[in-house]
Structure 1
Amino acid sequence: MAEQDYLIKVMSKQDLLQAIDWAAAEGWNPGLYDIESFHAADPNGFLVGYLGDEAIASISVVKYDDSYGFLGFYIVKPEYRGKGYGFKLWQAGLQYLEGCNVGLDGVVEQQGNYKQSGFKLAYGNIRFEGVGGGDEPEGIGLVDLSELPLSEVLDYDAAFFPTERKHFLRHWISQTGSRALGIKQAGKLVGYGVIRPCRNGFKIGPLFADDALLAEELFLALRAKATVKDNIYLDVPEVNLPGVALAEKYSMEPVFTTARMYTGDTPDISVDRTFGVTTFELG
């Protein structure tokens, strides 16, 4: 097929569903109901490459504002790899994010390519796998995030993300089948987390807390949403040693690693209080 038949365009929701299927085939275990949250973050931030009538490549380049964007979903269908289609989509994506500091969570086999495109390593992330179940802790000030003003969640979230992500979070904390909890002490939010259903089991993310004890209480409360028959997953920055210790305490095993990389300076976010990354796809 002639090269001019390769067309790059903004994804429709149907294209995005297909990209999520591709991510599942890569073993990335996306959430069952992620599409609304992802699309809300930036409807123009998902690109697809079509060869004739066939979608063959995807990338997400979510622009949170004019200063920060996040790249993910970089997938080319296996039979079309090594032909330059992915790189053309990559270039189009980075052009959309021109002027932004761009973050990504890169899989091991792509990290060298990302460095060649100007991305610099900030730290690694480890995906841990365990099982659900257990009892929800009592007397710690647990609240459903649905009962709080979104502004209160956004104020707390600001320490953990380079810029506001109101549109994304509004959907993320109310996903179908999910549970979103916070801990309030002395009238103040001191941690929050979300557990959501995925193709395989459940993922906890984010898991943000002011200290390791609060993170553990939140983890236990979220884990109780699943059963002992369910796998659960937690993506921990490897530089957060208490976070790694938390996963290991509950017999979770490392199954996957990524590298958090940025084109600009590493943002001043609270990695030491990030016990679980929100999502590798959108940061």
Structure 2
Amino acid sequence: MAAVVDRDGFRVRKASLRDADDIWGIVREEGWRPNNLQLIRAYMEIAKDGWWVAEKDGKIIGCVMVYSFNETHTFLGYLIVKPEHRGKGIARALKAEADTLAADRAIVLVANEAITPMYLKWGYKKSMRSGVGKYVVTIKNIPVAEAAEFKYEIKDYSEVDWKAILDYDTTFHVIPRERVLRIWFRIEHSQTKVLLLDGKIAGYGTIMPANDGFAVSPLYGDTPEACLVLLKRLVAPLPPASPVYLTIPDSSQAGQTLLAANVDTAKQTVYGYVLETGNSPPLPKWSNAMSLISVSFCFL
């Protein structure tokens, strides 16, 4: 049975997949984009023992997600309380359960500017990494030379050696995350493509429907050119004028190049910072990530 902690006027309990629709309702009402029910279900499968919800009168009014990659690092996301229930200690109660689950692990998240002061008050500190922006772009121009495109081969991930993909992923995120990627790559209607240069992986990216458009999440490449070539291939089949959501670190040269080339059709929807209670896990190619695997904005 899911653990329950009673509070003044509400209770906090562990969530299950049966709560996915209600959690999706909270996320949708909050206006977090891009998101959809399939993504919520994927996150719940990834962090199957790490979701908590707050209830009042039998209705879910808040949620939080915690996922521990290993014995030293935990990621936190989806800490949301419905507006009409804020200021009553519910977020703090949800965070307390997250802290208990994290145990002695360092907690890392990406928080938007509006709620960053709350986390700083709770003892988090800003990471030395660059800030992160969430953008929606109607992509009209991807500035990459035509000759560059012919250098690369692009395959569906299912046609590429799985171990090679995992090895490549750990050049970006040194903590192995095979289970995360297996779940992520099979999200309904998603497509994951791998970029090859001379037979070796030079990048990979996933695109999927989300809200009123499509999310590119993640997109990694060895060079800005590789990122842009892969992005061009990922978005090529989309209907004209489709909104495309990306989560771009400030230090991503490819991301900033894309934004500059589409300045009239790119809009920043949220901006935030990497926050942590300890040292973040190493991300050696942070600046090579054109778009993070995060659509929750609190999950790298």
Instruction: Tell me if structure 2 keeps the 8 A contact 1:128–1:256.
Output: yes
Equivalent residue number for residue 63 of structure 1:
68
Question: Which residue among 109, 116, 134 is the counterpart of 1:111?
Answer: 116
**Cα distance 1:273–1:196, how it changes in 2: closer, same or farther (>3 A)?**
same
Give the letter aligned to residue 124 of structure 1.
Answer: G
Which is further off, 270-279 or 143-152? 143-152
- Whole-angstrom distance in 2 between the partners of 1:139 and 1:179: 22
Deviations 1:75-123 (A, max 9, x none): 1111111011121111111111121121111021110111122222123
Identity %: 24
Mark the runs of 5 or more structure 2 residues left unpaired by the alignment.
1-5
Deviations 1:152-171 (A, max 9, x none): 22111112225222222112
Shift of 1:229: 3.4
Question: Which residue among 167, 185, 195 is the counterpart of 1:173?
Answer: 185
Equivalent residue number for residue 214 of structure 1:
226
Shift of 1:5: 5.4
Give the letter aligned to residue 85 of structure 1.
Answer: I
User: How does 1:86-235 map onto structure 2 within 5 Å?
Assistant: 86-122=91-127, 123-131=130-138, 140-235=152-247
Instruction: Tell me if structure 2 keeps the 8 A contact 1:41–1:165.
Output: no
Instruction: Tell me if structure 2 keeps the 8 A contact 1:32–1:199.
Output: no
Question: Which residue among 269, 279, 294 is the counterpart of 1:265?
Answer: 279
**Cα distance 1:116–1:134, how it changes in 2: closer, same or farther (>3 A)?**
closer
Mark the runs of 5 or more structure 1 residues left unpaired by the alignment.
none
Instruction: Tell me if structure 2 keeps the 8 A contact 1:101–1:264.
Output: yes
Shift of 1:124: 1.1
**Cα distance 1:166–1:146, how it changes in 2: closer, same or farther (>3 A)?**
same
Deviations 1:28-56 (A, max 9, x none): 12134213421232211111112241211
- Whole-angstrom distance in 1 between the partners of 2:87 and 2:8: 17
SS in 2 for 1:213: helix
Give the letter aligned to residue 183 of structure 2.
Answer: H
Shift of 1:172: 1.1
Query: Aligned pair 1:28/2:32, yes or no?
Result: yes
Give the letter aligned to residue 237 of structure 2.
Answer: K
**Cα distance 1:146–1:32, how it changes in 2: closer, same or farther (>3 A)?**
farther
SS in 2 for 1:66: coil
Taking structure 1 as the reference length, the TM-score comes to 0.91
Shift of 1:139: 5.5
- Number of aligned residue pairs: give it: 282
SS in 2 for 1:33: helix
Taking structure 2 as the reference length, the TM-score comes to 0.87
- Whole-angstrom distance in 2 between the partners of 1:162 and 1:104: 17
- Whole-angstrom distance in 2 between the partners of 1:32 and 1:221: 26
